[in-house]
Structure 1
Amino acid sequence: MVSSFSLFISLILLSLAKGIQGATFTVVNRCQSTIWPGILANAGSQPLDSTGFELPSGETRTFQAPPSWSGRFWGRTGCQFDPSTNQGTCLTGDCGSNQIECNGQNAKPPATLAEFTVAPAGGQDYYDVSLVDGYNLPIVVEPMGGSGGTCSSTGCVTDLNRRCPSELRVGSGAACNSACEAFGTPEYCCSGEFGSPDTCKPSRYSEMFKSACPRAYSYAYDDASSTFTCSGADYMITFCPSSTSQKSANVGPLSISATTGSDNGPTESGDGPLGINTSWLPNFVTGSSSSPIPSSSSWTWPFMIASAYLLFSSF
């Protein structure tokens, strides 16, 4: 009877383990060069193991976030850091700390953001990829092993730097501003008299972003098609997930419609209006038929079932 009781306790602890642990974030660099990801924990959330680090091409790094953690990840490019002091600056996504570690500093726009709110035990996580602060790198967020809600991949795989209109382009094309960053007017920034969902509508520039990246936030109130939820998941954040989008040679700037509100979304075949595949299959990021990074829940449930069998067969 003692062994049966121990098995029962183990079963309960395993079922609660995911909620206690929070979520694991695996950051993957598939870009052709080194990037320097930055991490910012929101107010009230403890910082993760690092707030900024070097990530060479092809490498990964994993972080464990506690329950109720919220914050954002982004990539910095063109960084120059003194190896003896770790001090320096970045061409895009710089966080203003003048160090590899961002130390609570936010990304300087334009930067593509992956944003998360990890739920307490039994709740739903919220996540999105945002172009509200502009764009500097393609990002895909893939939930691993979760369930419920709108638990699917999201992100922006299109290389918007190659397609950025001249009025939004930063420098020689290292990044692409949002209309708010470029022009600073209330109608683009959803501020002042435009500070509500009823008054701030998609602009021709946000529609441009939306047509290229249908699942990413294109402006401040783009919630309905851009916020995703999942329970009990870990998350893989992949920079430059598509080699096709990084190597396309003959790519012109995105066309901007003179009117807004037109249907520029993906077709039923899964191809967006720019010929970018948006079917978002689970193996999209990995480029293989199986995921290279197993979720913790992939072994938890079989073990729980076996434990339950042993428990009840012992009575």
Structure 2
Amino acid sequence: CDLNAVSVSSATTITMYNKCTHPVWPGIQPSAGQPILARGGFTLPPNKAHTLHLPALWSGRFWGRHGCTFDASGRGRCATGDCGGNLFCSGLGGTPPATLAEITLGNEQDFYDVSLVDGYNLAISITPFKGSGKCSYAGCVSDLNMMCPVGLQVRSHDNRQVVACKSACSAFNSPRYCCTGNFGSPQSCKPTAYSKIFKAACPKAYSYAYDDPTSIATCTRGNFLVTFCPHHR
């Protein structure tokens, strides 16, 4: 019996699927002390999927970069979600605003959510399958760029379109929006007009740091499908 084959077959997989009409460059940032997967980033053309095996008890975040150009050595830049101008993020996070898919593998159950705490750039969903327990859908399917308040907008170079939507914390850097200082607890940091816009558009996503914990989903021994632009047919 090949023990390696057994461990791989029982390992959790995450499949990233690009339903957008344009390429997406997924970025992957492991939590501290966790291994980097797929060098932290790669290119995913439209209607293509890429599957990774997650080590036991792995945790980290995934996001989509778009509007990227890289040279043969993997140097360049992305319009949103850029990680230091590199194709391979190598452990670096994405520059906000970027929609995040967050996954933490546990012994008994896995935790996952889609977060707008760092803002929004692309619609993302997480769909678990082959697991037991609630295993509910998490995601932000709406195009928040279409309804982004002016003060939070990130516009394209030609100024013609909104390419991302900042979180109020990133835009204004105030304790009330960032849930810091006197607002550093769930009791004192309540939803704001901005986070309510995010929550109304994306009820299955974290809209700010102390959002309702029901935004975190759980599943036992499932695999995960992370879809970019899930609303595209």
Which category describes the TM-score, using the shorter chain as reference length? Answer: over 0.9
Question: Radius of gyration: which is bigger?
Answer: 1
Q: Which residue does the alignment assign to 2:32?
A: 43
What is the correspondence of 1:1-315 to structure 2 with a 5 Å cutoff?
21-82=10-71, 84-96=72-84, 98-120=85-107, 123-148=108-133, 150-171=134-155, 172-243=161-232
Same amino acid, percent of matched pairs = 52
TM-score under structure 2 length normalisation:
0.92
**CA-CA distance at 1:224 after TM superposition:** 2.1
Once residues 169 and 81 of structure 2 are traced to their aligned partners in structure 1, the CA distance between those partners, rounded to angstroms, is: 17
Q: Which runs of 4+ in 1 moved over 3 A?
A: 17-22
In structure 2, give the amino acid aligned to 1:118: L
Once residues 59 and 154 of structure 1 are traced to their aligned partners in structure 2, the CA distance between those partners, rounded to angstroms, is: 21
- Contact 1:21–1:67, Cα closer than 8 Å, also in 2: no
**CA-CA distance at 1:175 after TM superposition:** 0.3
The change in CA–CA distance for 1:54 and 1:78 in structure 2 (over 3 A counts) is same
- Alignment root-mean-square deviation, CA: 1.7
Q: Which residue does the alignment assign to 2:158?
A: none
**CA-CA distance at 1:23 after TM superposition:** 1.1
Corresponding residue pairs, total:
225
Once residues 32 and 200 of structure 1 are traced to their aligned partners in structure 2, the CA distance between those partners, rounded to angstroms, is: 38
Q: Which residue does the alignment assign to 1:303?
A: none
Once residues 7 and 184 of structure 2 are traced to their aligned partners in structure 1, the CA distance between those partners, rounded to angstroms, is: 38
Q: Which has the higher strand share?
A: 2
User: Deviations along 1:185-218, whole A, 9 cap, x unmatched?
Assistant: 0000001111111111111100110011101000
The change in CA–CA distance for 1:20 and 1:199 in structure 2 (over 3 A counts) is farther
Q: What are the ranges of 5 or more consecutive residues in structure 2 without an aligned counterpart? A: 156-160
**CA-CA distance at 1:22 after TM superposition:** 3.5
- Contact 1:20–1:66, Cα closer than 8 Å, also in 2: no
Once residues 196 and 212 of structure 2 are traced to their aligned partners in structure 1, the CA distance between those partners, rounded to angstroms, is: 14
The residue matched to 1:225 in structure 2 has which SS? helix
